[in-house]
Structure 1
Amino acid sequence: MSERLAVKKTYKLAIGGKFPRSESGRSYQVADSAGEFLANAAWASRKDARDAVAAARKAFPGWSGATAYNRGQVLYRVAEVMEGRRAQFVDEVARGEGLARQRAEKAVDEAIDRWVWYAGWADKIAHVVGSSNSVAGPYFDFSVPEPTGVVAVLAPQRSSLLGLVSVLAPAVVSGNTVVLAASYERPLPAITLSEVLATSDVPGGVVNVLTGRVGDTAPALASHMDVNAIDLAGAAGDTEHAHELELAAAENLKRVVRAPGAEPDWTAEPGLERITAHLETKTVWHPVGI
């Protein structure tokens, strides 16, 4: 008997809980670290970026209005499904990043654990960064953190899963919705994660994934007036591009997580900085009842 023909995959975008083709009709070949063909990925356009922002805005009221406890449960379910597809993630990380299987397994396990860690903060972050303020008068005064809105996230270009989770999870855990621009050369873990999200309990539009060159979609996201914040992790080391995106973001006073000089060590303790970067603080005064 002859060998089976290879089933070559052509992946699509993830927008609004669906998997549409790019409106441009373009795709590109994704190769592994040795240059061998892995799959075809959609090449997102500026129109796709705008559609993703519209989907994220539509999903924002429901996701931000859910209880923090419920969001934590939903995000923990994502980790459960990731665990079930662990072998696929390991293969994609190993081939995309050129890692030995043991190192790829460690990276995937750390990514799943990182997702669980952030999910656990869903119903705790308000108690850590919120406060009850002392005031001179017969009033209660509370400072309460709230999600900022739609967040554009440029995923790290090198760390295709652990780095991805480290910038995506802190944005969604507090109630924001996200438009994610995946790594150009290593997009497969982001695509697989979008499939995990679609088969978990995450509402459609909470996370929207764009593949293709970040230079095609990032300027549209940075200048979009309905995007409230942008994380420039994926522009690490590209000072000129990061500067241009910061200038575009300044047009509507977006919150900006600035690009690092080089891609950081994603295995380090994450801290709460990326959660708080996407939060607003609302202060409420209420008269003391008799």
Structure 2
Amino acid sequence: MARLEVRKTYKLYIGGAFPRSESARSYEVTDTKGRFLANAALASRKDARDSVVAARKAQAGWVKATAYNRGQVLYRVAEVMEGRRAQFVDEVVASEGLTARRAEAVVEAAIDRWVWYAGWADKLAQVLGSTNPVAGPYYNFSVPEPTGVVAVVAPQESSLLGLVSVIAPVVVSGNACVVLASEDRPLPAITLSEVLATSDVPGGVINLLTGSVAEVAPWLASHMDVNAIDIAGVDDLDLRASLEVAAADNLKRVRRPDTDDWTADPGLSRIRSFLETKTVWHPIGV
């Protein structure tokens, strides 16, 4: 007797839990040949707002963690991804139409990128901070600090490596984020959310939404409790412009799309985009 296929309807990942969309909507996800893969939740304005609330609540604790601890948490994500690499390979093949060998290289690169950013957690202050020369009986330090809650529109084409490349640099310094995954290729992001839930990342530090970029991104850009937004995955120029206008209402930092080659050396640019610099004056004891 033929076995019936178990068709999946995935949920969102908000605050460390997997709620259904407040709208109760979903949409079909297909592979590059149009074959059904799963149903994904179609996030709404309310889901975006709930994600921002969860991110703000979690960020207070995440920023207090030691840099060394944040690095260990990010490294744990890489460890759990390594254990599920076969599933990630299958999903990248289906989502991006790559061969198995090329998909395996993409998955390996995504895991390695988590490790790379994890290694920077306790080195950022030394590299991006400074001790400033002053004329007087005091020290003057410039110290990098996270900006707070960051909204991220993930790359649309690079469903896993691009996704990791925009999430890891946000959270490594102590920010929390709300991520809108690739609209047509959300399965690797959904599996990544399951990895996050079973690793050591505190609930709410990373929140993953699936659905329409045109519908959800404007609410994230205009949200007054979002401090910055990365619009790497916004391809429509008119939408991109409207998001920048909305972000200006509370002077959000905006990171514009700047690459399609997610295999390139990432450097520290994305980390720096979501840091602020605090300058402290400290008297010298006699």
TM surpasses 0.5:
yes
Alignment check: 8 A CA contact 1:149 1:177 kept = yes
Equivalent residue, structure 1, for 2:92: 93
Deviation at 1:185, TM superposition (A): 0.4
2:183 partner letter: Y
Equivalent residue, structure 2, for 1:229: 228
| Distance in 2 between residues matched to 1:276 and 1:67, nearest whole Å | 19
Q: Normalising by structure 2, report the TM-score.
A: 0.99
Deviation at 1:259, TM superposition (A): 2.5
Is there any run of 5+ residues in structure 1 with no aligned partner, and where? none
Aligned to 1:279, which of 267, 275, 278? 275
Alignment check: 8 A CA contact 1:74 1:200 kept = yes
Partner SS, residue 249 of structure 1: helix
| Distance in 2 between residues matched to 1:83 and 1:249, nearest whole Å | 37
Deviation at 1:214, TM superposition (A): 0.9
Matched, 1:246 2:244: yes
User: Equivalent residues in 2 for 1:163-242 (5 A)?
Assistant: 163-236=162-235, 238-242=236-240
Partner SS, residue 157 of structure 2: coil
Equivalent residue, structure 2, for 1:117: 116
Partner SS, residue 95 of structure 1: helix
Deviation at 1:198, TM superposition (A): 0.6
| Distance in 1 between residues matched to 2:257 and 2:219, nearest whole Å | 17
1:257 partner letter: R
Equivalent residue, structure 1, for 2:40: 41
Equivalent residue, structure 2, for 1:140: 139
CA RMSD of aligned residues (A): 0.7
Deviation at 1:240, TM superposition (A): 1.1
Partner SS, residue 126 of structure 2: helix
| Distance in 2 between residues matched to 1:259 and 1:249, nearest whole Å | 15
| Distance in 1 between residues matched to 2:200 and 2:173, nearest whole Å | 16
Equivalent residue, structure 1, for 2:128: 129
Q: Over residues 137-172 of structure 1, what are the superposed CA-to-partner deviations in whole Å (9 max), with x where a residue is unaligned?
A: 101110000000000000000000000001010000
| Distance in 2 between residues matched to 1:168 and 1:3, nearest whole Å | 41
Q: Over residues 154-213 of structure 1, what are the superposed CA-to-partner deviations in whole Å (9 max), with x where a residue is unaligned?
A: 000000000000101000000000000000100011111011011000000000001000
Deviation at 1:125, TM superposition (A): 1.1
Alignment check: 8 A CA contact 1:242 1:259 kept = no
1:35 partner letter: G
| Distance in 2 between residues matched to 1:84 and 1:8, nearest whole Å | 23
Q: Percent identity?
A: 73
User: Equivalent residues in 2 for 1:249-264 (5 A)?
Assistant: 249-260=247-258, 264=260
Deviation at 1:239, TM superposition (A): 1.3
Alignment check: 8 A CA contact 1:181 1:214 kept = yes
Matched, 1:31 2:30: yes
Equivalent residue, structure 1, for 2:161: 162
1:249 partner letter: A
Q: Over residues 76-117 of structure 1, what are the superposed CA-to-partner deviations in whole Å (9 max), with x where a residue is unaligned?
A: 000000000000000000011001100000000011011110
Partner SS, residue 233 of structure 2: helix
| Distance in 2 between residues matched to 1:214 and 1:56, nearest whole Å | 19
The list of structure 1 runs, each at least 4 consecutive aligned residues, that deviate by more than 4 angstroms after superposition, is none
Equivalent residue, structure 1, for 2:103: 104
Aligned residue pairs total 286
Q: Over residues 240-277 of structure 1, what are the superposed CA-to-partner deviations in whole Å (9 max), with x where a residue is unaligned?
A: 111100000011000110134xx511111111000000
Partner SS, residue 235 of structure 1: coil
Q: Normalising by structure 1, report the TM-score.
A: 0.98
2:267 partner letter: G
1:86 partner letter: R
1:267 partner letter: T
Partner SS, residue 41 of structure 1: strand
Partner SS, residue 64 of structure 1: helix
User: Equivalent residues in 2 for 1:56-67 (5 A)?
Assistant: 56-67=55-66
Is there any run of 5+ residues in structure 2 with no aligned partner, and where? none
